[in-house]
C-alpha cells in the first residue's frame, strides 16, 4: 500500500443521499481531479447513496487507472432497508457480505483501509474486531479502522485486532474529540481521519445568510445552519477569513484544513463533488499555524459562537436505543 496523502477525498456527497442529488460524471471528474492534485486517498462507504458512491468511485478508478498508487478506504456495519431506513449491523454475516459487495462495487481485489462505520451495541466489540482481524489475515483488507468509536470501544477493539485509524467528526467547530479521543489516538499512533473537515461547507466561506438548501440536503436540517445560531457561525467564519488572509495570505477553507493537519497524526477528509471545489487544495500544504494564531482562532470561536452545537444530529440509530423505530433521524 502506498503512503496515503494527508488530505483524503470524502465521497458522501458523491452518493447523492442527503446531499440533494449528484451528477456521476462530475463525481468521476472530481475523483480524477483529486488524484491529479496529489490526493491519493479516497474514503467511501456502502451507505453513501446505498452503493452509489462506491460504484462511482469504482468507475473512476477504472478510468484513472493506476490502482496501486491509490489508497482506498471504505466501511461496513450500516444496513439499510429498501425504503432507505438505515441502522447499525455489525453481525458477522453482515460484515462478510458487505466486504464482498464493496469489492465488487469498487471493482478491486483488495481494500486498503476497512473501517467499522458505527459501533453496534448489539454485537460485542470483540466479535466485530475478530471478524475484521480475519479480513486482515485473508489479505483482502490491508489496514483496519473504526469510526464513531469511544476510547473504551477502541481499547476493547485493539485487544483482538490491530487498529490503524479512527474516523471521528472533527473540525474547527466540532471539537468534542479533543477531550479524550484525540489524545488517545495520537498517543497510540492511531491515525485520525477527521470527517466534516470543512463542517459540511460551513467553513468554506461560501455560505451567506441567504444560502438555502433543498429538503433532500442534510444542511436544511443541520442545527448549525438554522438561525439564530447560523449567524454566529457565519460571524466566526468571517473573522477566521480575516485572520487567514491577513496573517497567512490564505482563505478560511485552507485555514480550516491546515488546522486539522496541525493537530497530530491526522488526515483531513474533504468532501467534494465538483473538480473546482478542490482548487484551494494547493494552498493547504507548505505552511503551518503557529501557537499564537491557534490561540487567537480559539478566541474568535468562543467570542462568535456563544451557543455552539455538535454534530450529533448525524448519528446513525443504535438499535439498543428504546426510542429507535428503524427510521434514520435525518
Residues in contact with ligand NAP by CB under 6 A are 10-13, 43, 117, 147-148, 167, 195-201, 204, 206, 253, 269-273, 277, 280, 314
Contact 45, 86 (CB under 8 A): no
Instruction: Name the DSSP class of 328.
Output: -
Residue with Cβ nearer ligand NAP (266 or 291) = 266
Ramachandran region, residue 249 (left: φ > 0; alpha: ψ -120 to 50; beta: rest): left
Residue with Cβ nearer ligand NAP (174 or 239) = 174
Query: What stretches of 78-205 show up as alpha helix (H) in DSSP?
Result: 92-106, 125-138, 151-160, 181-187
Residue with Cβ nearer ligand NAP (225 or 270) = 270
Q: How far is the CB of 262 from ligand NAP (least distance, A)?
A: 17
Q: How far is the CB of 283 from ligand NAP (least distance, A)?
A: 11
Q: Would you call 114 a catalytic residue per the annotation? A: no
Residue with Cβ nearer ligand NAP (10 or 119) = 10
Residue with Cβ nearer ligand NAP (16 or 131) = 16
**Neighbouring residues of 74: CB distance < 8 A, sequence distance ≥ 6:** 43, 44, 45, 46, 54, 102, 106, 111, 113, 114, 115
**Three-class DSSP category at 283:** helix
Contact 248, 296 (CB under 8 A): no
Q: How far is the CB of 225 from ligand NAP (least distance, A)?
A: 11
Q: How far is the CB of 305 from ligand NAP (least distance, A)?
A: 17
- Kindly state the greatest CA–CA separation across the chain: 55
Q: How far is the CB of 276 from ligand NAP (least distance, A)?
A: 7
Contact 84, 18 (CB under 8 A): no
Backbone angles phi, psi at 248, to 5 degrees: -130, -10
Q: How far is the CB of 292 from ligand NAP (least distance, A)?
A: 26
What are 272's three cell numbers? 467534494
Instruction: Name the DSSP class of 317.
Output: P
Residue of 48, 149, 230, 233 marked active site: 48
106 sits in which H/E element: helix 92-106
Q: Which of 41, 15, 45, 20 is nearest to 316 (CA)?
A: 45
End-to-end CA distance of the chain: 36
- Which residues, listed in sequence order, are joined to residue 111 by a DSSP beta bridge? 141
Q: How far is the CB of 86 from ligand NAP (least distance, A)?
A: 11
Residue with Cβ nearer ligand NAP (14 or 131) = 14
What are 153's three cell numbers? 470501544
Q: Strands, E, within the chain: which ranges? A: 7-10, 41-43, 71-76, 78-80, 86-88, 113-116, 144-147, 165-167, 191-194, 266-271
Residue with Cβ nearer ligand NAP (208 or 325) = 208
Residues with catalytic function:
48
Amino acid at each position: 500500500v502506498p503512503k496515503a496523502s494527508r488530505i483524503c477525498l470524502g465521497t458522501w456527497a458523491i452518493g447523492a443521499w442527503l446531499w440533494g442529488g449528484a451528477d456521476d460524471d462530475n463525481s468521476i471528474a472530481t475523483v480524477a481531479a483529486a488524484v491529479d492534485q496529489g490526493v491519493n486517498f479516497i474514503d467511501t462507504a456502502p451507505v453513501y447513496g446505498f452503493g452509489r458512491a462506491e460504484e462511482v468511485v469504482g468507475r473512476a478508478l477504472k478510468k484513472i487507472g493506476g490502482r496501486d498508487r491509490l489508497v482506498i478506504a471504505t466501511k461496513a456495519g450500516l444496513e439499510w432497508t429498501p425504503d432507505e431506513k438505515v441502522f447499525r449491523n455489525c453481525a458477522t454475516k453482515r460484515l462478510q457480505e458487505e466486504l464482498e459487495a464493496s469489492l465488487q462495487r469498487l471493482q478491486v481485489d483488495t481494500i486498503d483501509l476497512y473501517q467499522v462505520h458505527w459501533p453496534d451495541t448489539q454485537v460485542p466489540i470483540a466479535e466485530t474486531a475478530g471478524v475484521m482481524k480475519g479480513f486482515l489475515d485473508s489479505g483482502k483488507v490491508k489496514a483496519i479502522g473504526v469510526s464513531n468509536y469511544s476510547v473504551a470501544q477502541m481499547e476493547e477493539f485493539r485487544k483482538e485486532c490491530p487498529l490503524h485509524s479512527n474516523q471521528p467528526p472533527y473540525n474547527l467547530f466540532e471539537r468534542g474529540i479533543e477531550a479524550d479521543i484525540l489524545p488517545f489516538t495520537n498517543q497510540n499512533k492511531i491515525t485520525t481521519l477527521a470527517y466534516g473537515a470543512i463542517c459540511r461547507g460551513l467553513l468554506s466561506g461560501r455560505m451567506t445568510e441567504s444560502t438555502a438548501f433543498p429538503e433532500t440536503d442534510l444542511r436544511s436540517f443541520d442545527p448549525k445552519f438554522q438561525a439564530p445560531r447560523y449567524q454566529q457561525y457565519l460571524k466566526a467564519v468571517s473573522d477566521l477569513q480575516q485572520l487567514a488572509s491577513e496573517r497567512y495570505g490564505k482563505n478560511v477553507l485552507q485555514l480550516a484544513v491546515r488546522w486539522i493537519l496541525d493537530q497530530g497524526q491526522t488526515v483531513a477528509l474533504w468532501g467534494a463533488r465538483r473538480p473546482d471545489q478542490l482548487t484551494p487544495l494547493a494552498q493547504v500544504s507548505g505552511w503551518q499555524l503557529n501557537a499564537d494564531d491557534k490561540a487567537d482562532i480559539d478566541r474568535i470561536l468562543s467570542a462568535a459562537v456563544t451557543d455552539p452545537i455538535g454534530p450529533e444530529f448525524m448519528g446513525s440509530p443504535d438499535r439498543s436505543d428504546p426510542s429507535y423505530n428503524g427510521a434514520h433521524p435525518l
